[in-house]
Amino acid sequence: MSTVYLLTGSNLGHSAAFLAEAASQIEQKLGKIVRRSSLYETAPWGNTNQPFFLNQVLVLETLLDPEPLMRSLLDIENNMGRKRAEKYGPRTIDIDQLFYENKVHNSDILVLPHPEIQNRRFALVPLQEVAPELIHPLLHKSITALLDTCLDHSNVQKKILL
């Protein structure tokens, strides 16, 4: 089994339901989710003229290698109505592989670790909740250290759903 850190996000429709459905499909098809961060309401990144996101980190144990896993995650996104109309645009669901064990990988379909993680507070905050001591295999810093030096100061708030 390999441990993978996924970031899910949504800012269209009932975002909490989309995140729950994505987690359910991931667990049914790809492996066992062993940890989940809280849900976080986060400011949009890249294209700020859109609704805020809900984000959650999932820690997945899987038998799949990185690229087949990525293809399966893209299938889940497509099945859930993900449209890729504009870069950094609004979306029903987004599922990113942040880390796959300590693998370094670069292909057309996947770059590991996620190349922008150290610049994205919306990924680092929920990741720190579930894996504060995880070490970035290229930067050789923990998630806590990356968050401490992150230049992104966008709003990331734990979301309490009633």
User: Is 94 annotated in the active site?
Assistant: yes
Higher pLDDT, 89 or 119: 119
Query: pLDDT-based confidence at 161, cuts 50/70/90?
Result: low
pLDDT at 47: 75
What is the model's pTM?
Answer: 0.94
User: Is 148 annotated in the active site?
Assistant: no
Output 70-76 pairs: Cβ under 8 A, ≥24 positions apart: 70/97, 70/109, 70/110, 71/109, 72/29, 72/30, 73/6, 73/26, 73/30, 73/97, 76/22, 76/25, 76/26, 76/29
Q: Which domain holds residue 59?
A: 2-158
How many domains does the chain fold into? 1
CATH number of the domain that residue 150 is part of: 3.30.70.560
* CA pair distance 106, 94, nearest whole angstrom: 20
Query: pLDDT-based confidence at 71, cuts 50/70/90?
Result: very high
pLDDT in tens, 111-148: 999 999 999 999 999 999 999 999 999 999 999 999 99
Question: Is the pLDDT assigned to residue 63 strictly greater than 90?
Answer: yes
Active-site pick, 91, 108, 121, 152: 91
Pair of tokens at residue 17? 């339901």
pLDDT in tens, 40-61: 999 887 777 888 999 999 999 9
Active-site pick, 65, 71, 75, 94: 94
Active-site pick, 35, 71, 96, 120: 96
User: Is 75 annotated in the active site?
Assistant: no
Pair of tokens at residue 74? 């893209």
Active-site pick, 82, 120, 121, 148: 82
